[in-house]
């Protein structure tokens, strides 16, 4: 073999080996989101896209997985089936305590918060001409309480208990997913629905436009008790005009969508994810109207009821957003 040809073969072999090593070193990570029409999907896909821009540098490749929602994501992270997930702050809290739907599986001691994403009030819609003006008016009517395993279902169950109600107070309590409940409302198969979601949500915009559904305010003693007694609930207002045909602002209460992981996920991985999001935060905020008014400091200090992951803590301390003793 001639020397030039030998050099060419050696160079080609080196390139192949280097490429093989790079491919072998790339670590796949998964983010659990929610329904196909929800904001969780948009948030998760945006985080993955921002992270995947620098795969060659940090060796991480991200993909999202549609799931049944917050509770599913928590349990999948616990089992190792997911690396990260987007969950409601109340579900995050219950998981750390081993309460509610986590009573049988016990406290998730390795659950770690990474950052808050956006506020999520409970939005209640009623069918046009249903005669519903307040939540208690759904007694004796058909109401969709949300699919089992979702954060929506958890919040509605808590509201019912605070109001001295149960699913037995409805003539039918359906368990449709967010991808199904709009069609059911417009086809007069249910009289109302609840959905914990960031606003404006395309899912709810379609419903209010297609069949004149109206927002139902969530106020009164039951809501007051929930907000006062639980650390992860807060009052919120859905601005007038957020949804077609709903000109007036409507009071509600809600939680915060949070991004979580496990203590078993390496610090370097979590640091890289946080860096990818916050180094391109302006771009992140452009991906959905609900992200438009987010501020980095809010994402560090709102709704994080699980301990902060060490990798996230290191990144936020580097940015000066938290102090060493926080």
Give the rounded distance of the alpha carbon of 5 from its chain centre.
Answer: 56
Give me the sign of the Cα torsion angle 114, 269, 106, 75.
positive
Give the rounded distance of the alpha carbon of 171 from its chain centre.
Answer: 30
Give the pLDDT score at 285.
Answer: 94
Give one DSSP letter per residue of 161-212, joined into a string. HHTT--GGGSSEEE---HHHHHHHHHTTS-SEEEEE--SS-HHHHHHHHHH-
Same fold, 25-119+257-319 and 121-255: yes
Give the pLDDT score at 202.
Answer: 87
Which residues of the chain register pLDDT less than 70? 1-24, 324-326
CA distance 180 to 54: 37
Q: What's the predicted TM-score (pTM) here?
A: 0.72
CA distance 77 to 91: 13
Q: What is the pLDDT of residues 119-153, one digit of tens each?
A: 889 999 999 999 999 999 999 999 999 998 888 99
At the second CATH level, the architecture of 25-119+257-319 is 3-Layer(aba) Sandwich (3.40)
CA distance 288 to 280: 15
Q: Are 289 and 242 in contact (CB under 8 A)?
A: no
Helix (H) / strand (E) element for 7: namely: helix 3-25
Domain limits of the chain?
25-119+257-319, 121-255
Report angle CA 300, 305, 124 to the nearest 5 degrees.
95
Alpha helices in 241-295 (DSSP H): 267-278, 281-285
Give the pLDDT score at 315.
Answer: 97
CA distance 322 to 320: 6
Q: Are 77 and 111 in contact (CB under 8 A)?
A: yes
CA distance 128 to 125: 9
- Taking domain 121-255, whether its CATH number is 3.30.470.20 is answered by no
CA distance 151 to 158: 11
């Amino acid at each position: 073999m001639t020397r030039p040809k030998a050099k060419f073969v050696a160079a080609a072999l080196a390139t192949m080996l280097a490429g093989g090593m790079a491919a072998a070193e790339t670590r796949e990570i998964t983010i659990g989101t929610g329904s196909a029409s929800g904001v969780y999907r948009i948030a998760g896909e945006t985080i993955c896209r921002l992270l995947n821009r620098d795969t060659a540098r940090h060796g991480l490749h991200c993909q999202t997985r549609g799931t049944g929602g917050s509770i599913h994501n928590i349990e999948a992270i616990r089992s190792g089936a997911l690396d990260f997930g987007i969950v409601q702050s109340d579900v995050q809290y219950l998981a750390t305590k081993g309460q509610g739907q986590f009573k049988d599986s016990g406290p998730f001691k390795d659950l770690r918060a990474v950052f808050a994403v956006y506020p999520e009030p409970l939005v209640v819609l009623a069918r046009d001409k249903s005669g519903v003006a307040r939540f208690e008016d759904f007694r004796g009517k058909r109401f969709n309480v949300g699919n089992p395993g979702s954060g929506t279902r958890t919040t509605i169950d808590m509201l019912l208990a605070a109001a001295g109600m149960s699913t037995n107070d409805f003539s039918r309590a359906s368990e449709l997913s967010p991808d199904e409940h709009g069609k059911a409302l417009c086809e007069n198969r249910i009289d109302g629905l609840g959905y914990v979601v960031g606003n404006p949500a395309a899912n709810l915009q379609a419903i209010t436009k297609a069949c004149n559904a109206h927002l139902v305010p969530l106020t009164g003693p039951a809501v007051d008790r929930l907000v006062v007694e639980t650390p992860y609930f807060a009052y919120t207002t859905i601005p007038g005009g957020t949804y077609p045909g709903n000109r007036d602002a409507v009071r509600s209460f809600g939680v915060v969508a949070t991004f979580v992981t496990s203590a078993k996920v390496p610090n370097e991985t979590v640091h890289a994810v946080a860096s990818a999001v916050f180094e391109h935060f302006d771009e992140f905020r452009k991906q959905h109207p609900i992200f438009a008014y987010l501020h980095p400091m809010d994402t560090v200090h709102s709704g994080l009821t699980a301990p902060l992951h060490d990798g996230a803590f290191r990144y936020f301390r580097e940015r000066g957003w938290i102090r060493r003793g926080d």
